[in-house]
Chains A and B, each alone.
Chain A
């Protein structure tokens, strides 16, 4: 059987970067992806609702990214409002994202030292900074350096997105309250870059970008891997388990071809698990052997634990000063501004962490206020119409604390369509989460009130999670007794096994995780290249 240098499992942000970096470094790479390619020609991004069978209300636009046969899951013992993302497609979440790309701040790697909770990461911001820079230049990020300690910047940005009227109003009111509003940093092109065209401002980022102006792995990094002549892709390949040799080293992946339903194996010298937080833990837990009876690299029982992610809510404000104005095309590239964490700027808190606010990342087409306004008839209809131009949406992303008692397990008695034990989610909010939520709630209500307008809020429903930002289940750490990976995303117990997606996060900040995932993956790829040269893997 052919032996590849590296087998990358998963084609999303982590896997795409890993494959590109390794192929360009001379390695022969095979990538397994459980989903399949959905090329731009199949996107329904620009379809009007009335051109879709159910007006888009049954997620017809995104259904191709979420094949049901490989997304079975069970929620057990979870707080209400908790859900994990089950996207399974070539490109993973990069096909269905808003592309907000924020660096973690130095303090975000040091929660134990600075806040006395959780653990410090086994690497520092300074060690990751060159890889942030490398990724930002690879993917193309618009924005600017705002000289904020809480949100470090890179050196190379494409011009920021122009602001809408509602965003200027937010910045004006925010300034009066000491709340900063900055141009969003996101992997959306505002100029031609890397042979890709700039954004055409249709607002359909989350439905699939038909011209590759947003970063996706199939459009941006997999072609670079392919161009080396050293890249092999197997899509519709559902990984069942990683097999080990008698010494406990990873040796092969056993997978099922979704089309033929046959079981196959692929052998490699190094394995990079990039399946995202739920699936990576599931794969390791399903990889049991005499050498690894509790799952691969899991003799300390950490794998699957410390599941967490962003918690948050949404507030819509229909601004008085914009209501009744003439409708204009506001779609843009979804969010154009960002509110970085601000609760550290004033006062002392009885909890750790903070929140950031993403702004206007939902469509301008459907009038959400019609779901909330009471009454009916001509006054109702006129009020929906009057409010619509004033729409401003604030979506909050709060830090959640990583806790051992929150976890994903596998259930050997419940299997998916391919006979693979499914993941089972256990999650409860902790005290810090609730304290942060209460303070965030009060702050958002104060901000909404100062903005002056008609307000509809989901905050009263309590916190929800994880905004597709789940992390932590195969975490890095300094102590091999309480973590699964070292600072290079390498398994403590299995030297030729790496896990570089969100599951590797030691802790989560309030910032979107994808840029950090890509930086970690690029850094791990560089380490793999070095170690291969030293013959140390």
Chain B
């Protein structure tokens, strides 16, 4: 094993331990942190969740670099967020879901998404407005997930450093 790899594993192990100690110290119930595995749909129906999951995976798909929105279970995160939002937000989703379902049944999921996304900067129809809402939720859910943060962006921070390594590239100075 390379030294860097070993260090990484040690660091992650230490972090995990620190995190569980921290949870205990805060007296938080184990269900405090949201985990998609035990989530029960509270706003979407099973059919709606399947459609949202499929659409979100098209917005942020798996590629050869990292898994996508499906693996990150972003649709379940969306269900949590919408089900705990105010009535106006829920109605916005309800209208959007209906418009999207209608479009999907008329053509295909891929074609419906393309049509919804066609006017992203100035959405005018219910379907177009829903794309903006759906994409925003996909971005929020994916890039706050373990997959989005660690596997896709390869984020290196949220650590304890003894010193901060500044830029040492002459070209930038």
Instruction: Give the interface of A toward B (CB within 8 A).
Output: 41-42, 46-57, 161-165, 167-169, 171-172, 199-204, 321-322, 327-333, 364-367, 370-371, 374-378, 380-382, 384-385, 388
Contacts and interface: CB of A to CB of B under 8 A. Distances in A.
Given A57-B144, A162-B165, A321-B172, A370 B155 contact: no
B106 interface: no
A162 B168 CA distance: 10
Contacts of B169: 165, 168
Contacts of B32: 53
Contacts of B160: 200, 202
Interface centre among B60, B139, B154, B160 (most CB of A within 10 A): B139
Interface string B113-138: 10001001100000000000001100
B86 interface: no
Interface string B144-173: 111001001111111111111111010111
Given A163-B167, A332-B164, A374-B121, A202 B159 contact: yes
B156 A327 contact: yes
A374 B59 CA distance: 11
Contacts of B156: 327-330
10 contacts: A55-B141, A162-B165, A168-B167, A200-B161, A201-B159, A203-B158, A204-B158, A365-B155, A377-B59, A378-B63
Given A50-B34, A375-B117, A329 B140 contact: no
Contacts of B144: 49-50, 55-57, 366
Contacts of B161: 200-202, 329
B166 A377 contact: no
B101 to A, nearest CB: 19
B34 A54 contact: yes
Nearest to A371: B139
B33 A331 contact: no
A169 B170 CA distance: 10
Contacts of A161: 164
B65 interface: yes
Interface in B11-52: 18-19, 22, 25-26, 32-34
B81 interface: yes
B157 A52 contact: no
A4 B92 CA distance: 57
Contacts of B145: 49-50
Contact of B155 (A50, A327, A378, A381): A327
A203 B63 contact: no
Given A364-B157, A374-B120, A163 B139 contact: no
Contacts of B162: 200
A370 B166 CA distance: 26
Given A55-B144, A381-B152, A48 B59 contact: no
A204 B165 CA distance: 17
Report the contact-size class of chain B (Cβ under 8 Å from the partner).
35 or more
Nearest to B35: A50
Contacts of A48: 19, 146, 149, 158
Nearest to A329: B156
- B contact face: mostly helix, strand, loop, or mixed: loop
Nearest to A363: B157
A330 B117 CA distance: 34
Nearest to B65: A385
3 nearest interchain CB pairs?
A162-B166, A49-B144, A331-B157
B143 interface: yes
B71 interface: no
A167 B167 CA distance: 9
A168 B154 contact: no
Interface centre among A49, A203, A371, A384 (most CB of B within 10 A): A49
Nearest to A365: B155
Contacts of A367: 143, 153
Contact of A327 (B26, B154, B158, B167): B154
Contacts of A204: 158
A82 B142 CA distance: 31
Given A169-B172, A375-B120, A381-B68, A203 B157 contact: yes
B171 to A, nearest CB: 8
Contacts of B155: 327, 364-365
Interface string B75-88: 00100110010000
A50 B33 contact: yes
B39 to A, nearest CB: 12
A41 B25 contact: yes
Contact of A57 (B18, B58, B140, B171): B140
Interface string B82-113: 00100000000000000000000000000001
Contacts of B58: 376-377
Contacts of B165: 162, 328-329
Contacts of A327: 153-156
B63 to A, nearest CB: 5
B173 A377 contact: no
Given A165-B172, A321-B172, A331-B159, 15 more contacts: A50-B33, A50-B146, A51-B19, A56-B144, A168-B167, A169-B172, A171-B173, A172-B173, A327-B155, A331-B158, A371-B139, A376-B58, A376-B60, A380-B60, A382-B63
